[in-house]
């Protein structure tokens, strides 16, 4: 059967126009026709939209900047919209500045212009920038830092500044695969130089043990009421360093969480000092102590979760929740290859987002202190679709054995279930189809249970049905 008919007249004209404009020129240092680059840019744009004018603009995006073609000629041949899209992709010349300054100024102006541009212009720009970044990444893999000698500006840090600036300007497209590839390639070519964090030596006799969790114990300072110490168990030194880096980035993003201090060691164990939140109680303890207040506390917790899930983050600083689940799935022993493919397909199909994910969101990891609400234990913090977080909330409230709920959260299952029943309409809105919400969230609870916690004691019918193909 032949391909379905499609009106490609506009794109065909743009392709012929670009081919003629770039005729006889090569992609710098590549020894292949320049037209290959706009063709790749158009293919990337086609992966995100079928809008024929955006595809045409992608083919034409360099003709004004790199050939004798004028913007007026583009407008006359293809109309105002395509001309505006091409203009958004063209550097503005700055002849009054010396060459050493004009490159940076032009790139900064382009970044600023792109940040303020509409989404459609950003899609066209992403096609161009990702094509460039693919070429740089290929060359970098072969030649390393010698590739910068191919550019007019040979300072590696200048190029990193440029591409990270572009990633910030294009952050509205964080929900697209192309943008995620763009950021991943930037990080490959310009790996962040992580500052070595050296622990400060402490005397544990200055601290008083306050509690214990699965990864370590907490301590209050005996004389300074503003210091909380989280000391990790033996063998978890790397986890302490990683969590401190995450905690600092989370705090900087404006997430309500205790201010992280320094890395410390008592000579045997490693830990983190935080600014202590005084007169605090966890949501779990508050509900357990006052079950009659479960509905009101659930509303407060929902507001805190919504604030978290509406916070946009720098995706270069955190792991994508999909990547985290796929990594854990690969190491999971409970599923055969066919089941893993099915689960991976489900994870890939989940919506993309650049908003914050706690990673272990439940009412034991949120605190009440007067009028303030705080999130703690952010070692699994990442970004993505909120349902990955809400699955854990549901799991905590609805799917635990009573013995575990009593031990871990200081309440019985009936109270925990009532908490979810009040949380769901507060989070999703009073007009939400809560039955549909629960049907979706139970699958994410199943993912959390079986993939992350490797717990097979709580079978999830919906999750099993997904594997068998009856849901997904």
Across-strand partners of 3? none
Place of tokens 């192309």: 178
Options 40, 53, 65, 188, the catalytic residue: 65
**Sequence-ordered alpha helix ranges (H) in 190-333:** 237-252, 283-289, 294-309, 321-330
From the candidates 12, 51, 62, 66, which is the catalytic residue? 66
Contact between 90 and 65 under an 8 Å Cβ cutoff? The reply is yes
CB-count burial class (<10 Å; 0-12, 13-18, 19+) for 271: buried
Kindly report the backbone phi and psi dihedral angles of residue 264, in degrees, each rounded to the nearest multiple of 5, phi listed first. -135, 165
How far apart are alpha carbons 363 and 392 in whole angstroms?
A: 10
Contact (Cβ atoms closer than 8 angstroms) between residue 451 and residue 434: no
In angstroms, the CA 241 to CA 165 distance is: 28
Please state, in angstroms and rounded to a whole number, the distance separating the CA atoms of residues 161 and 41.
Answer: 22
Q: Is 222 helix (H, G, I), strand (E, B) or coil?
A: coil
65 in catalytic set: yes
H or E element in which residue 264 lies? strand 260-265
Rg, C-alpha atoms of the chain: 27
Residue positions annotated with a catalytic role = 65-66
């Amino acid at each position: 059967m032949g391909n379905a008919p499609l009106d490609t007249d506009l794109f065909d004209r743009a392709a012929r126009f670009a081919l003629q404009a770039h005729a006889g020129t090569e992609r710098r240092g590549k020894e292949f026709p320049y037209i290959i680059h706009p063709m790749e840019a158009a293919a990337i744009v086609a992966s995100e939209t079928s809008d024929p004018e955006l595809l045409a603009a992608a083919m034409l995006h360099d003709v004004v900047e790199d050939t004798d073609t004028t913007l007026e000629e583009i407008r006359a041949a293809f109309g105002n919209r395509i001309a505006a899209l091409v203009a958004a992709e063209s550097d503005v010349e700055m002849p009054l500045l010396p060459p050493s300054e004009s490159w940076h100024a032009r790139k900064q102006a382009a970044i600023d212009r792109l940040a303020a541009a509409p989404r459609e212009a950003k899609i066209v720009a992403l096609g161009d920038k990702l094509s460039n970044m693919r070429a740089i990444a290929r060359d970098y893999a072969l030649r390393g830092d010698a590739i910068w000698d191919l550019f007019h500006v040979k300072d590696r840090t200048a190029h990193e500044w440029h591409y990270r600036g572009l990633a910030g300007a294009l952050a509205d497209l964080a929900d697209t695969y192309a943008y995620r590839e763009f950021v991943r390639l930037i990080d490959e070519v310009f790996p962040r130089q992580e500052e070595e964090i050296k622990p400060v030596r402490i005397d544990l006799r200055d601290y008083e043990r306050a509690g214990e969790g699965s990864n370590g114990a907490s301590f209050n300072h005996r004389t300074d009421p503003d210091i909380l110490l989280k000391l990790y168990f033996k063998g978890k030194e790397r986890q302490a360093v990683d969590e401190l880096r995450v905690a600092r980035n989370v705090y900087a993003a404006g997430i309500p969480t205790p201010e992280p201090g320094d890395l410390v060691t008592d000579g045997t164990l490693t830990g983190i000092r935080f600014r202590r939140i005084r007169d605090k109680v966890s949501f779990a303890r508050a509900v357990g102590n006052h079950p009659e207040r479960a509905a009101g506390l659930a509303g407060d917790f929902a507001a805190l979760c919504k604030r978290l899930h509406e916070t946009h983050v720098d995706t270069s600083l955190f792991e994508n929740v999909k990547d985290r689940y796929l990594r854990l799935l690969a190491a999971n022993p409970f599923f055969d290859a066919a089941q893993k493919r099915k689960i991976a397909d489900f994870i890939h199909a989940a919506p993309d987002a650049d908003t914050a994910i706690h990673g272990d969101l439940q009412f034991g990891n949120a605190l009440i202190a007067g009028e303030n609400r705080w999130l703690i234990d952010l070692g699994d913090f990442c970004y993505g679709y909120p349902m990955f977080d809400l699955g854990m909330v549901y799991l905590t409230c609805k799917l635990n054995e009573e013995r575990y709920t009593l031990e871990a959260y200081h309440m019985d299952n009936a109270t925990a279930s009532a908490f979810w029943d009040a949380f769901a309409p507060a989070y999703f809105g009073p007009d939400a189809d809560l039955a549909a919400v629960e049907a979706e969230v139970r699958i994410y609870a199943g993912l959390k249970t079986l993939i992350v916690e490797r717990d097979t004691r709580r079978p999830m019918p919906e999750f099993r049905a997904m594997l068998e193909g009856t849901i997904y």
